[in-house]
Structure 1
């Protein structure tokens, strides 16, 4: 499970503010935030499936992914983590990329994918589990959005708490520098949980209870599960990018990684 909150194209200083918690088995092999071998892409990597949950390129391409909460999954399904990489390594616009993959989304277990090109101010949400009557692809409107393990902006209690805390910090700083450190250290580490009537009732009540906080930690028979990393990605109007990650290392130590760069212009097709 994961959760992200982001502000898109509605701030005088930041075209994008994004905060994302990745929840995963603690023993799943994972590589921390770094520049990849292509020299163009920065992000963490899942060393089991080979994909990523969040990545960005020097040319302002951005992609992040969450799994969809459901009781059934198929072991032979394609790896969802490949989808962000495919977009990051392409030259297609978000809309064209979404069109390209529409015919194959049934090959994956449930996912939510957001892809964006910051320079062209284009962001698209793609899911293979749309609500009844909704489309697979939606253009993301300017403003605050929250994505967890249901559809974009679903009113789960922890999503509403995250939205309100983020909104409060934005209002306190009135369009100026956003307090990224406060957001990471106080909001994204919130362990407040919901009571049984408020839970989505997809899994057992005990499991749902432990998953109902923004920052997750729970013990399972296979080992600890929960928030493995907290990411903060900020992009300023002049193209300056700060990509920060607090990452849980093997052995239980938390380490910080930060990458800074300025977006370079590149054509899309």
Structure 2
């Protein structure tokens, strides 16, 4: 999923997919020897090498089975499925829509257990892909597109002055160097 301060399987634990015979999408290939790792300030003290696939990250460890994370991955994969038919601007817009989805994904025992000290109406705000609460929540969305030719489009949407009605979007494009 694109970089996101917060973030498909609803109900139950989500397991990482086993490696398959080949990548489902061309961008999942590691034929060039590229390696992607995950490392955080919690969990395993060593970087984890990721196999080709789609992963979700929220304000917890990679692939924490929160319903909002699984729902966000589902929305992301739906956009990816149609991405070849979309102009770049439409693709970025749809990905930003995914990152700004405020639909609460409840009940979610994992979030409820973590937030026992909060009252239920506030907890429902934390259970969405995009969190909008006073003094806490999603403040930046980042979309990074890399095409087969190494053209990178980096789009970042940031909240201005802690005002959820005011946003600024910046896009930078460049070529990867080999």
The TM-score with structure 1 as length reference comes to 0.49
Q: Secondary structure at the match of 2:77?
A: helix
Q: Which residue of 2 aligns with 1:3?
A: 6
Structure 2 counterpart SS, 1:144: coil
Aligned residues between the structures: 150
Change (3 A) 1:230 1:197: closer
Residue deviations 1:134-154, cap 9 Å, x none?
663210111111011222112
TM-score (norm 2): 0.71
What's 1:104 paired with? none
Asked if residue 189 in structure 1 is aligned to residue 104 in structure 2, the reply is no
The answer to whether residue 84 in structure 2 is matched with residue 171 in structure 1 is no
> Which residues of structure 1 form unaligned runs of 5+?
17-118
> Are 2:57 and 1:147 equivalent residues in the alignment?
yes
CA RMSD between the two structures: 2.8
2-side partners of 1:148 and 1:251: how far apart?
A: 20
Q: Indicate if the aligned counterparts of 1:194 and 1:212 stay in contact, CA closer than 8 A.
A: yes
Partner of 1:59: none
SS of 1:151's equivalent?
Answer: coil
CA drift at 1:217: 0.9
Which residue of structure 2 lines up, in the alignment, with residue 108 of structure 1? none
Residue 19 (structure 1) aligns with: none
SS at match of 1:257: strand
Equivalent of residue 216 in structure 1, options 131, 153, 156: 131
Q: Does 1:257 align with 2:167?
A: no
Provide closer, same or farther for how the CA distance between residues 135 and 228 of structure 1 changes in structure 2, counting only shifts above 3 A: closer
Contact 2:5/2:139 (8 A) holds in 1: no
Deviation by residue 1:239-259 (Cα, 9 ceiling, x = unmatched): 111000111112732111010
Shift of 1:15: 5.8
SS at 1:258 equivalent: strand
For 1:196 and 1:10, how far apart are their aligned partners in 2? 31
More helix by share: 2
Give the CA deviation at 1:228: 1.0
Larger relative contact order, structure 1 or 2 (CA cutoff 8 Å, min sep 6): 1
| Higher relative strand content | 1
CA distances 1:68-117 after superposition (whole Å, capped 9, x unpaired): xxxxxxxxxxxxxxxxxxxxxxxxxxxxxxxxxxxxxxxxxxxxxxxxxx
Q: CA deviation at 1:197?
A: 4.8
* Conservation of the 8 A alpha-carbon contact between 1:239 and 1:262: yes
Q: Is the 8 A contact 2:55 2:73 kept in 1?
A: yes
Change (3 A) 1:150 1:124: same
Q: CA deviation at 1:211?
A: 1.5
For the Cα contact (< 8 Å) 2:66–2:108, is it kept in 1? Answer: no
